[in-house]
Amino acid sequence: MTDQSNPLLSVEHLKVSYPIRSSILLRKTGENVAVSDVNFELRAGETVGLVGESGSGKSTIARTVIGLVPAADGVIRFEGHDITKLSLRQMKDMRRDMQMIFQDPYASLNPRLTVRDIIAEGWRVHAGIVPRDRWTAEAKELMERVGLNPDYSDRYPHQFSGGQRQRIGIARTLALRPKIIICDEAVSALDVSVQAQVLNLLEDLQADLGLSYLFISHDLSVIEHICDRVLVLNKGVVVEEGTARQLFEHPQHPYTKALFSAIPVVRPWLEETS
């Protein structure tokens, strides 16, 4: 359930730009403003969606929130603290609280590590979460939690299907006990029936652990299903925002109307969950 007290994350007047460089000397010759004046809040237990065409700035916002891209202007507060001004050390601790799940789990899973070691990777980096003698047992518990057979903990990523690999990615993320998970096209590469299963898993985890999700997807039916609130981005600017229901039933801005009418909506999960 969404916590109505202070937001976990608040983004105020965020501006992000990328340098444009000359092709010969790589000197900066200008800047491409990817995101300007973006504002939103994310509360405990809430899912906020970012939608918009390719290049509208969704991933840039995600990468800036997590500290991979610097903010040119604005404030990003996590639990009330401006994280745009953190030291590297403080950033490392904060990264633990905010994790990202990517579209292609295979590319982000080390093919030489077993599932057990993939899940334990974060415990190596962030000492003190799980004592070493508990790594195998805890990794198996996490595998079970995400719907994987714990007996397969010594198998390698290529021995799993796409949906199972995304579950490994989710288990690895959960291992760090984050408060916010940024899902960047996290189910886009999966077949619709597998998408539905992974979305249901994410919802179960949210209900059990009170997680907050920042959910990026070009698939509006996924967004409608999983998000409480949605921001519609066009060329780096939020043109409309509201609850998922408001936006889907009564889009106001011409861009939102065009975006929503252009995409066929398939909702296999409605049959499963209703």
Ligand X SMILES: Nc1ncnc2c1ncn2[C@@H]1O[C@H](COP(=O)(O)OP(=O)(O)OP(=O)(O)O)[C@@H](O)[C@H]1O
Q: At what angle do helices 135-145 and 115-125 cross, to 10 degrees?
A: 120
55 binds ligand X per the rule CB under 6 A = yes
# residues contacting ligand X (CB under 6 A) = 12
Residues 118-177 that bind ligand X (CB under 6 A): none
CB of 216 to ligand X, least distance (A): 7
DSSP states of the chain: ----SS-SEEEEEEEEEEEEE-TTT--EEEEEEEEEEEEEEE-TT-EEEEE-STTSSHHHHHHHHTTSS--SEEEEEETTEEGGG--HHHHHHHHHHEEEE-S-HHHHS-TTS-HHHHHHHHHHHSTTSS-GGGHHHHHHHHHHHTT--GGGTTS-GGGS-HHHHHHHHHHHHHTT--SEEEEESTTTTS-HHHHHHHHHHHHHHHHHH--EEEEE-S-HHHHHHH-SEEEEEETTEEEEEEEHHHHHHS--SHHHHHHHHHS----HHHHHH-
Mark the segment that binds ligand X (CB under 6 A) among 48-56, 71-79, 169-177, 191-199.
48-56
Q: Rounded to whole angstroms, how far apart are CA atoms 180 and 214?
A: 7
**Residue range at the interface with ligand X (CB under 6 A); choices 54-62, 82-90, 139-147, 256-264:** 54-62
153 in Cβ contact with 113 (< 8 Å): no
- Closer to ligand X at the Cβ: 84 or 103? 103
Of the pair 38, 205, the CB lying nearest ligand X is at 38
Q: Does 17 bind ligand X (CB under 6 A)?
A: no
Q: Choose between 37 and 154: whose C-beta lies nearer to ligand X.
A: 37
Q: Tell me the closest approach of the beta carbon of residue 107 to ligand X, in angstroms.
A: 15
CB of 233 to ligand X, least distance (A): 7
Q: Is 70 in the site for ligand X (CB under 6 A)?
A: no
- Shortest reach from residue 98's CB to ligand X, in Å: 17
For residues 201-260, which are near ligand X according to CB under 6 A? Answer: 218
Rule CB under 6 A: say whether 30 interacts with ligand X. Answer: no
Q: Is 58 among the residues that bind ligand X (CB under 6 A)?
A: yes
Our finding on whether 87 is near ligand X (CB under 6 A) is: no
Under rule CB under 6 A, residue 18 binds ligand X: yes
**CB of 60 vs ligand X, minimal distance in Å:** 3
Choose, by CB under 6 A, the member of 45, 57, 105, 122 that binds ligand X.
57
Q: Which residues in this chain contact ligand X in the complex, by CB under 6 A? A: 18, 32, 34, 52, 54-60, 218
